[in-house]
Structure 1
């Protein structure tokens, strides 16, 4: 429950920006997945799909330019605004966003999230990497915008979830289809009575950050730097009642340079079961491959395997954790595996493990989970 000293979960209406259908090749063609799941092949496809694809804003090029690399997306966004390629909604609203891809459905409220530096009602569940926080903050400062909503999960939304489902019964405000086969719809809620009911319901809850820890940390840093600036105390967010509209929970795999299977075999601490091969169906396993052979480790504990990997195994193996790369698909990790660079396949933490650690103020290692489906970038965004 929210802290009795005053912090409450707040998601406020905003005047969102969106693309104008007649100014682009298609509303779906200008959208993108979030920045941190963009593999090079996807970036090329998105860049080629439309000159106005959001990847041109959220993934600044030319890292050799240093801070100046963020000037290009800022200038590009300004041109799109001046040319009417993107326009701002006339009136503040809360937005219901639904994404359907096969049997998977993402559905929830998009608005301006009141930030919670004390971690009383907006609860992170994993660590962040400072260079990515700095990267997102520089992009936010250059563009003066929140281009990608973070994703929050809460339970038993009552009147707020009823309002979401009631809105979906009407005609959508925005409709878009994306190349991956997903169908996206957005509805507006601007009725004062309904907005008041939503606000009252949300004030009774706390929410876990499901996706977007680095962006949320950047929101907090922006607020710290500009505490008196209007708009700096909130950030763009999507809030999902995961009981009524369940989220998926997948692992993020690792590639570890300089590590061999022999080192794993000889330096794994006592207490771990070690089996040759890739043992499937075990939710508490860690499977490791050099591209030719597999080794599977198992430890009988309630601690998520990703935490055990970072806290116990990697130090025992002598790994420099800053060198690790993270991959949302196992295929991408396996493509990089070799005799001196292993791929580590993880199982996803269970939802109860994530929620319990967040409620206790215990965070998992960085890139511990991949919640989904993820909101598509470019259908709605916010400027300060």
Structure 2
């Protein structure tokens, strides 16, 4: 049973929203250094709260937030509501325009063992701690995580469509995506949405580090608070929810880029791969995307000036020693992380989440550029993952390797913020939604 509730969001004062594009920012784990430097130049951009600068960034974000509230840069909505969030986008090589329809609410934080919110990726501890420290100092959820529910009847969508007849904001973000926000205040509609979600399990699509940061913070506050009731703000987390049955849910591949390995050479890597993989040269590097498409356990390898298709020999799949169920062992990314990162590069599975010489890159062209310029030693090109695979892994109780999925488009920071400070979290209207 997943419990959600409306909230009285903090939003930019209307005098600033004429240029809402200048106030939004990418999520903390996708914003590039170049983007940060540009966004920091805008005084009230949400990047100052989501990815603060300085030697003590969380403290700086706290001070900035306090000043913004005092100066009326951001103000709290008087009524709690559910914020409807549509993202209009297209994909390269396709003429179709998609609309991902979701809504932003507060959701009760559940322990992983309760299996109300299901994860499919492992996390990196330093990123979880970073998010927890920021939450501790600011008492603010700056950007929604992304959760999935399954409803073949799509009843909630009709309420979302009705709300979108009166949008609050409309913006074009850094992805070229048109983001639109509206709000539902109607207690009867909100109650029906709560009723539908109450029967669902929620799959955490994006934001594992932010959610786990909230979870860890809740656990800490619960221990410190002898009068804990479960209704305090720290028990809740801001999340956007979308329907897995919608046609506009897209998951893009995330490639692996490797650098700074000692005593590395192309010849050495190919020799190591030969034991477990078949290797075929690809004359034109960009072709690897299509060559590996639809082939199980096949990857593109960019190294030096060369490109290869590598594919696990079928009889080798049973050699995976990790304690995973068969459906998780059979995943492409499990194969990659076991046979290449653990077996060849000798980075144990549990340490791969902190391996700083493995980075993640969605853009194939950027992978190719880094390898050709010698900024990286090699790149492994992956394929996308279906939502059915994500569901299968979640229901198994296990997780994929980190950064296994890239749900597109990413939500943005800056449209609405959710406070967990009890003086701002509680409203006189809360009884209407219980």
TM-score (norm 1): 0.90
Q: Contact between 2:177 and 2:409, CA under 8 Å: does it hold in 1?
A: no
Select the residue among 319, 338, 342 that pairs with 1:311. 338
The answer on 1:266 being equivalent to 2:271 is yes
SS of residue matched to 1:294: strand
State how far apart, in whole Å, the 2-side matches of 1:161 and 1:116 are. 25
**Secondary structure in 2 aligned to 1:195?**
helix
User: How many residues are treated as equivalent by the alignment?
Assistant: 371
Q: Which runs of 5+ in 2 are unaligned?
A: 91-96, 223-227, 318-326, 421-434
Q: Could you tell me which residue of structure 1 aligns to residue 204 of structure 2?
A: 209
Q: Partner of 2:108 in structure 1?
A: 114
Deviation at 1:245, TM superposition (A): 5.2
**Taking structure 1 as reference, are residues 260 and 207 closer, same or farther at Cα in structure 2, changes over 3 Å only?**
farther
Distance (whole Å) between structure 2 residues aligned to residue 23 and residue 199 of structure 1? 32
1:332, distance to aligned residue in structure 2 (A): 3.0
SS at match of 2:106: strand
Q: CA deviation at 1:146?
A: 0.7
Answer yes or no: is the 8 Å Cα contact 2:170–2:180 preserved in 1: yes
Task: Calculate the aligned-residue CA RMSD, in Å.
Answer: 2.1
| Bigger-Rg structure (1/2) | 2
**Which residue in 2 is equivalent to 1:296?**
309
Between stretches 263-272 and 209-218, larger displacement belongs to 263-272
**Deviations 1:76-121 (Å, cap 9, x if unpaired)?**
1111111111111101111111122342322211000111212422
> Which residue of 2 is the match for residue 355 of structure 1?
391
Alignment partner of 1:77 out of 44, 65, 70: 65
Following superposition of structure 1 onto structure 2, how do residues 34-49 of structure 1 map, counting pairs within 5 Å? 34-48=27-41
Corresponding position of 1:379: 415
Q: 1:46 to 1:350 in 2, by over 3 A?
A: same
**1:125 pairs with 2:134:** no
CA distance in 2, matches of 1:176, 1:349: 29
In the TM superposition, 1:19-38 aligns within 5 A as 19-23=12-16, 26-38=19-31
**Quick one: distance in 2 between partners of 1:269 and 1:356?**
31
In the other structure, the counterpart of 1:240 is 242
SS of corresponding position for 2:415: coil
Contact 1:263 1:317 (C-alpha < 8 Å) held by counterparts: no
Is 1:90 the counterpart of 2:117? The answer is: no
Instruction: Identify if the C-alpha distance between structure 1 residues 122 and 179 changes in structure 2 by more than 3 Å, giving closer, same or farther.
Output: closer
2:252 aligned with 1:250, yes or no? yes
* Counterpart in the other structure of 2:324: none
User: Aligned partners of 1:340 and 1:73: how far apart in 2?
Assistant: 34
- Superposed displacement of residue 196, structure 1: 1.4
Cα distance change, pair 181–271 in 1 and its aligned pair in 2 (3 A): closer
Aligned to 1:55: 47
Match of 2:171 in 1: 176
Q: How far apart are 1:179 and its partner, in Å?
A: 5.4
The whole-number CA distance in structure 2 between the counterparts of 1:243 and 1:193 is 24
Q: Is the 8 A contact 2:154 2:243 kept in 1?
A: no
- Kept after mapping to 2: 8 A contact 1:247/1:372: yes
Structure-2 separation of matches of 1:190 and 1:37: 32
Which residue number in structure 2 is paired with residue 165 of structure 1? Answer: 161
| CA distance 1:250–1:340, shift in 2 (3 Å) | closer
Q: Residue deviations 1:269-317, cap 9 Å, x none?
A: 6442211125332234211212411122123577222221112221222
Query: Quick one: which of 333, 340, 346 aligns to 2:367?
Result: 333
Distance change (3 Å), C-alpha of 1:42 and 1:189: same
CA contact (8 A) 1:95 1:186 kept: yes
SS of alignment partner, residue 199 of structure 1: helix
In structure 1, runs of 5+ residues without a counterpart are 1-7
Partners of 1:238 and 1:267 in 2: CA distance: 44
TM-score when scaled to structure 2? 0.80
Give the whole-Å Cα distance in 2 for the aligned partners of 1:93 and 1:25.
Answer: 22
- For residues 381 and 125 of structure 1, do their structure 2 counterparts lie closer, same or farther at Cα, with a shift above 3 Å needed? same
Indicate which of 5, 8, 16 corresponds to 2:9: 16
